Amino acid sequence: MELPKKYNPKEVESKWEKFWIERNLYQAGKDKDKKTFVIMMPPPNVTGMLHMGHVLNNTLQDMYARYKRMKGYDVLWLPGIDHAGIATQNVVEKELKKEGKSRFDLGREKFVERVYKWKEKYEDIIISQLRRLGCSCDWTRYRFTMDEKLSKAVLTAFVKLYEKGSIYKGKYIVNWCPRCETTLSDEEVEREEIEGKLYYIKYKIENEDEFITVATTRPETMLGDTAVAYHPSDQRYKKFKGKYAILPFIGRKLPIIEDEAVDPDFGTGAVKITPSHDPADFEIAKKHSLEFVTIMDTKGIINENGGEFKGLDRFEAREIIVKKLKEMGQLDKIEDYKINIGKCYRCDTIIEPYLSEQWFLKMKEMAKKAYEAGEKGEVKFHPS
């Protein structure tokens, strides 16, 4: 008996890959007397092909599936893929862009069709790659997170939570991606520190020749200011208490208020309050019953509340506003300043804190229960 002199992986691998699938060796439930061992494959996103991380992840799963199967368990390793929501929409949009088209050129129906075409293409690739890796999963139970039945589960979960009162609607500051035109969860925002500027802007006090100078990293949002605030202990501004500052360009009267949340060491110690475009200002505004003025549309373009700047992109607006303030003598100075920005994890666009009406899910109780289960060792992490 003889083996070929040289090991030829390709030949051997494709032979057994086919054999394992054809014989349907890894379908679960063939022997109901056996104890079960279940692994749910983290479904790869249908955004593209598999990368090395998937190879490692699935190799480890396959190692356990094969080990437990040989050990006499009824192993269910359930494979599937994830729709990945906007991430997939993005890759399809990028593809369209190469053809010089946008999703609006296609219209909703055609665009959805296009997304499904993408899904089918990459689904095939992903499955064939998982098979090549030797994954001994139960292909008869393959799932896609938008299968009819899985969508039914989503709906059921939503209704159950809604009826319980865990889901509510409300206007809050959310992370908004002006490119994707959608909200992002906190985890979907990538934070980074960049070199920015701190602008010192002078607001005139109503009926006086005095000014109050506020410092801000985002001058364009001043169009949405509805107050100026300082820390109650800050003696510098006591004299302005109860007075009004006049918002340049717009002419709105801004009450000058005191609030503990203001950091007297930041800038001049006086800050502009923009409730619709800053989460901290949002809180302050609620406390003092301030007005909410949204100055951008969902694409980050200045809207009618921005007066003469209407129609400008948010960053264009910044440049022009700064230039005009300088001309008007209301720009005190500009300093270099490190700022923290958030970027959309899918498309890298700088996110906008944005007041938006959304549905929310109360997670506190759920998180607490999950945490306790972890503490009690009902689920073990390796390494812990």
Residues 288-327 that bind other proteins (CB under 8 A): none
Count of positions on this chain that bind other proteins (CB under 8 A): 96
What is the per-residue binding string for other proteins in 145-174, x denoting contact by CB under 8 A? xx--xxxxxx-xxx-xx-------------
Rounded Cα–Cα distance for residues 74 and 31 (Å):
7
Residue 312 vs residues 168, 234, 247, 353: alpha-carbon distances, Å? 34, 37, 19, 18
143 near other proteins (CB under 8 A): yes
Residue 175 vs residues 226, 232, 306, 310: alpha-carbon distances, Å? 21, 30, 21, 22
46 near other proteins (CB under 8 A): no
Q: Give 57 or 217: the residue with its C-beta nearer to other proteins.
A: 57
> Residues 6 or more apart from 137 whose CB is under 8 A from it?
26, 41, 65, 77, 78, 79, 130
- The one among 5, 98, 108, 169 contacting other proteins by CB under 8 A: 5
40 near other proteins (CB under 8 A): yes
Indicate the burial class of 81 (C-beta count within 10 angstroms; 0-12, 13-18, 19 or more): buried
> Residues 6 or more apart from 86 whose CB is under 8 A from it?
180, 182, 346
Rounded Cα–Cα distance for residues 136 and 121 (Å):
22
What is the per-residue binding string for other proteins in 92-131, x denoting contact by CB under 8 A? -------------------------------------x--
Which tokens go with 176?
Answer: 């908004």
What is the per-residue binding string for other proteins in 334-373, x denoting contact by CB under 8 A? -----------------------------x--xx-xx--x
The window from 45-53, 234-242, 259-267, 285-293 that contacts other proteins (CB under 8 A) reads 45-53
261 near other proteins (CB under 8 A): no
Q: Give 113 or 181: the residue with its C-beta nearer to other proteins.
A: 181
